[in-house]
Amino acid sequence: MPQSLGGVDELDNLALACHRCNERHYNFIVGIDPKTQEQVPLFNSRQQQWSDHFIWTKDGTKILGTTPIGRATCVRLDFNDERRDEPSIQTARRFWVEAGWHPPQSDPRQK
């Protein structure tokens, strides 16, 4: 829960995030599932498992939401840079895949 919405500045209310995700998450706690147009809560890394809501594409360059929460979070945080002219994160992931660093072995991947 963001401080601006009444959350507290204590460890169990914080989540480690990279700059881009933190910036895009801003103080949003809900998003719109693009499949149903319903408003749903965003993924909460403190309470939910990543692998229950997301999967990597077969080539490892994109994150796909597999649930309403996953899909809404992909859109809200623009995980795949699809709102940008240049999907630079996909380019970076392609290099990481080639280097063998990505995606994490424990993450589910499209078959």
Interface residues toward Zn ion, by CB under 5 A: 18, 21
Instruction: Report in angstroms how near the CB of residue 24 gets to Zn ion at its nearest.
Output: 8
Instruction: Report in angstroms how near the CB of residue 37 gets to Zn ion at its nearest.
Output: 25
Instruction: Report in angstroms how near the CB of residue 13 gets to Zn ion at its nearest.
Output: 18
Cβ atoms of residues 4 and 52 within 8 Å: no
- DSSP for the chain reads --GGGT--SSGGG-----HHHHHHHTT--EEE-TTT--EEEPP-TTTS-GGGTEEE-TTSS-EEESSHHHHHHHHHTTTT-TTSSS-HHHHHHHHHHHHT--S-TTS-B--
For Zn ion, give the closer residue by CB, 21 or 64.
21
For Zn ion, give the closer residue by CB, 8 or 17.
17
Instruction: Report in angstroms how near the CB of residue 93 gets to Zn ion at its nearest.
Output: 12
For Zn ion, give the closer residue by CB, 5 or 18.
18
For Zn ion, give the closer residue by CB, 26 or 38.
26
